[in-house]
Homo-oligomer: A and B are copies of this chain.
Amino acid sequence: MRKNRPKYKQIIEAAVETIADNGYHASQVSKIAKKAGVADGTIYLYFKNKEDILVSVFEEKMGQFIEQIASSINDKQNADEKLRTLIEMHFLQLANDHHLAIVTQLELRQSNSALRMKINEVLKPYLVVIDDIIEEGTEEKIFRDDLNIPLVRQMIFGTLDEIVTNWVMKEQRYDLVKQTSDVHTLIINGLSVKEIVKED
């Protein structure tokens, strides 16, 4: 299988680096090939075309990303803990791979709609993970039972995504992972003053 051959991974890694360093539009196939240490033509033994490289980058990296999160969540006891872990792992993984963060948050968004449709497909399993947590929380009576699940999912994903994008655009100058707790609280409790409510 082509995906197991060493050059496949070499090219994927080279693509991430090239895009992170030069930006999406300046990442010619020849540049990726050079960084991967293969000939231009070799690229086409492993990928159908340039778009296929980019989709594969996303598939490989996001596949790991999502698996990592899914497995970290597995041994958590309740939806609240799972949500906290999801946030933390989301931040942690991108904080640990600066190249990947730049590529996913900034560069790959410049792709045309066809490519972005494919990227959305790759993201679907992540959205399912989020949906499952919401449902579990509702069953555990930790979350409200009248939640509009797609909407909640969009809130969670939109929040995390925007936070990471801001962090990347601020050139990653602060600690992303440290925000986990605040973000978790915001999503769970919202802006309102709970204590006031409790004191009723």
Contacts and interface: CB of A to CB of B under 8 A. Distances in A.
Nearest to A193: B144
Interface stretch (A2-10, A28-36, A40-48, A134-142): A134-142
B106 A116 contact: yes
Nearest to A166: B154
Contact of A154 (B141, B143, B162, B187): B162
Interface string A136-174: 010001111001101110110111111100100100000
B106 A192 contact: no
Nearest to A190: B190
Contact of A159 (B111, B147, B158): B158
Contacts of A116: 106
Contacts of A152: 186, 191
Contacts of A159: 154-155, 158-159, 162
Nearest to A184: B190
B163 A158 contact: yes
Nearest to A120: B169
Contacts of A107: 113
A1 interface: no
A120 B113 CA distance: 20
B192 A189 contact: yes
A111 B112 CA distance: 10
A144 B110 contact: no
A188 to B, nearest CB: 5
A183 interface: yes
9 closest Cβ pairs, A-B complex: A158-B162, A190-B190, A158-B158, A189-B190, A155-B159, A143-B191, A158-B159, A154-B162, A188-B190
Given A109-B110, A155-B162, 7 more contacts: A109-B109, A120-B169, A151-B179, A155-B155, A187-B190, A188-B191, A190-B190
